[in-house]
Every structure is written in structure tokens, then in C-alpha cells.
Amino acid sequence: MPGRTPVPDAVRGLIDPQAASLGWLRFVAPSENELTERLGQEFPWLTKAEVVHTSVIDDVAYRGAITVLEILRKRTPSTKEIHIGFAVGKSMRKVAEKLAEQLSQPWSDLPETLAFHSLVSGFDVHSPLCLPKTTSGQKSLMLVRSRC
């Protein structure tokens, strides 16, 4: 198939061709355990940190979204509302996109309300529309999850 990497012979019998053709398979980049441990030791105040062995931004963004989801799911059960701030940049936008994909699935252990805040709209020295905003100009999106 054009645009796709051929499946190596050693793996061919292990992959369901129908699942692959339907896009049901996802490559998950492995963790870099030694660097992850060092990061945790250097910054013990972080709730969770992980280094992913990849050079592909989508791999990093997916792992970032999963990390945010895990933190949300481990919160105090009595917490009904959580606010999340996203900084500027293509990487953070990718994390937000991957998190949106995860939140589209049913999760019974998430808070009733998740509020997403754009800390800045973007930054581009050539476009005044993408200059950082003040706190009073902060944009927010509130997603209300209903439990049906």
C-alpha cells in the first residue's frame, strides 16, 4: 500500500490485518526508564513525569494526554470540577487534541466538570492576532460531562 510501512515478516503473523486496515492498532512509543527516573528524582514535586523514546511529536502528545487523563482519574473522588491550563505551542495543541480523543470515550471516574483554559492564544511575531493575552483576556472552554 502506498504511504504505509510494510509489515516485517517476523511480525506479520502477530498482527490482525483487518484490525490494521481499520486503524484499530496504535503504536505506543516505549518509555525511557532511566531518564524518567532521573527526572522524578530531580523534580520530586511533579505528580507524574515520563520520558518517551521517540522523535515523533504525536507519540509525545499521546503520552502527555494519557498522563493528564491518569492524573484526572486519580484525583480525590469528591472533586467535582477541575481546571486545566494549556500553554502556547504546537506541542501543547497536539496534547490537547489527543486528550480530546481520550475524553470522547466514556469514563465513569472523571469529574463532572472539566474546564480548559488557554493561558495564551498563541505567539507569532508576524501576526498580532497571536500575541499573548493578559489574564483578563483569557479564553476558556468548559466541558461539562454528564453521567447518563
pLDDT tens, residue by residue, 22-45: 777 777 788 888 998 998 899 988
Domain boundaries, position 78? 19-144
Q: What is the pLDDT of residues 88-146, one digit of tens each?
A: 778 888 898 899 889 888 888 888 888 888 776 665 556 655 555 544 444 444 454 44
Residue 126 lies in a domain: yes
Least confident of 9-18, 72-81, 92-101, 110-119: 9-18
CB 51 within 8 A of CB 39: yes
How many domains, the chain? 1
Of 127 and 73, which is predicted with more confidence? Answer: 73
Residue 134 lies in a domain: yes
Residue 11 lies in a domain: no
pLDDT score at 8: 61
Taking alpha carbons only, the member of 71, 75, 73 closest to residue 106 is 73
Residue 1 pLDDT > 70, yes or no? no
pLDDT score at 3: 46
Residue 77 lies in a domain: yes
- Match 480548559 to its residue by C-alpha cell: 116
Residue 44 lies in a domain: yes
pLDDT score at 30: 81
pLDDT score at 147: 41
Of 22 and 83, which is predicted with more confidence? Answer: 83
CB 80 within 8 A of CB 113: yes
This prediction's pTM: 0.65
Residue 105 lies in a domain: yes
Residue 55 lies in a domain: yes
Residue 38 lies in a domain: yes
Say how far apart CA 147 and CA 128 lie, in whole Å: 41
Distance of CA 80 to CAs 67, 68, 70, 111, Å? 20, 16, 16, 5
